[in-house]
Amino acid sequence: MTVLEVKHLKKSFGSIEAVRDISFSVNAGEVFTIIGPNGAGKTTTLEMIEGLVPPDQGEIRFQDLTWDKDAVAIKKKIGVQPQSSAMFDLLTPKENLDLFATFYDQPKSTEEILELINLTEHRNNLVKQLSGGQRQRLAIGLAMISNPEILFLDEPTTGLDPQARRNIWDIILQLKSLGKTIILTTHYMEEAEKLSDRVCIVDQGNIVTLDSPSSLIEKLTKEREVSLSFHDEKTTIEAEHFSKNLDSVIRTEREDTTLKLWTMKPEDSLHDLFQFTKENDYHVEQVSIREMSLEDVFIAYTGKEWRD
């Protein structure tokens, strides 16, 4: 069942086209993740869906509800993780949750949320004394207090250490097992790969690809990365020039004496390359063929390195 559908969303800030044309739908109970390079338009997209920023064009539907007609009903359905600045530092997690609970008709119990976000032990400490990870867990708890069906988490693990990040992953998976729909943005590829049912890669305000992590990787694994090292740069440049003209080679990259090429047919490409190096008496020092990850999918589609 589709719980959210966005069609042809567009948003500009002056001359900056933050979101050019974004359409997708989200199914009940899935973790749907939006990833993309800096400034790709992820936050603007989320903020339009959350009703915080009006789109210039396009449609946003939560089943039959739209922001212009049904804002109150949509607000009951969705939970948005607040930025940590929206919490009260001089209150405790319990007091923050109790306060947020007063905003809603049928909030979840504070104790239940504290348990879910694993803060029961720290319920009576001041928020300003919490670690970054604990604050982020509280932010998720605050988004959950209204017991929403759909939860928006904008980079919930940015800046956290690996253990704190994993603790948040556990909470996200627990929420999923409770049947919540989660729309997530992240800077961490491993996170997207581990948590998501589907990943949408956004670049320059457009969706460049959308599928399950395994399908995205599978599509790309038809393409293999082959790496060759030569003993000098001149040979490497010539080998790159030769590879670029091979039909099987999709793209190449060179750094010092290492040549990387992406090919649909590694055997054919290597056969042709070895023939070339033999004919020219060039010595190949090392050869390897690498498995692909979601990070490779990202780079292949956006042409940009993943930042971490």
CB of 216 to ligand ATP, least distance (A): 19
Would you tell me the crossing angle of helices 132-144 and 162-177 to the nearest 10 degrees?
Answer: 20
CB of 214 to ligand ATP, least distance (A): 24
Residue 33 or 269 having the CB closest to ligand ATP: 33
Residue 39 or 162 having the CB closest to ligand ATP: 39
Residue 13 or 103 having the CB closest to ligand ATP: 13
Which residues make beta-bridge pairs with 255?
A: 258
CB of 207 to ligand ATP, least distance (A): 12
The reply on whether position 13 binds ligand ATP by CB under 6 A is yes
Site string for ligand ATP, 26-65 (x = CB under 6 A): ----------x-xxxxxxx---------------------
Residue 16 or 73 having the CB closest to ligand ATP: 16
Long-range Cβ contacts of 216-222 (<8 Å, 24+ apart): 216/294, 216/297, 217/292, 217/293, 217/294, 217/296, 217/297, 219/297, 220/292, 220/296, 220/297, 220/300, 221/291, 221/292, 222/264
CB of 58 to ligand ATP, least distance (A): 15
CB of 281 to ligand ATP, least distance (A): 49
Query: What is the spatial distance between Cα 144 and Cα 136, in angstroms, rounded to a whole number?
Result: 13
CB of 131 to ligand ATP, least distance (A): 23
CB of 229 to ligand ATP, least distance (A): 34
Residue 18 or 74 having the CB closest to ligand ATP: 18
Position among 4, 6, 18, 130 found at the interface with ligand ATP (CB under 6 A): 18
Query: What is the spatial distance between Cα 19 and Cα 23, in angstroms, rounded to a whole number?
Result: 11
The reply on whether position 16 binds ligand ATP by CB under 6 A is yes
Q: Convert 154-202 into a string of H (helix), E (strand) and C (coil).
A: ECCCCCCCHHHHHHHHHHHHHHHHCCCEEEEECCCHHHHHHHCCEEEEE
Query: What is the spatial distance between Cα 56 and Cα 43, in angstroms, rounded to a whole number?
Result: 15
The reply on whether position 206 binds ligand ATP by CB under 6 A is no
Query: What is the spatial distance between Cα 244 and Cα 238, in angstroms, rounded to a whole number?
Result: 10
Residue 19 or 259 having the CB closest to ligand ATP: 19
Residue 14 or 179 having the CB closest to ligand ATP: 14
Residue 42 or 198 having the CB closest to ligand ATP: 42
CB of 212 to ligand ATP, least distance (A): 21
CA dihedral sign, ordered 223, 38, 80, 141: positive
Which residues, other chains included, contact 224 with Cβ-Cβ below 8 Å and sequence gap of 6+? Answer: 262, 263, 264, 266, 289, 290, 292
> Which among 183, 218, 178 has a CA at the least distance from the CA of 197?
183
Query: What is the spatial distance between Cα 62 and Cα 148, in angstroms, rounded to a whole number?
Result: 13
- The residues that touch ligand ATP, with contacts defined as CB under 6 A, are 13, 16, 18, 36, 38-44
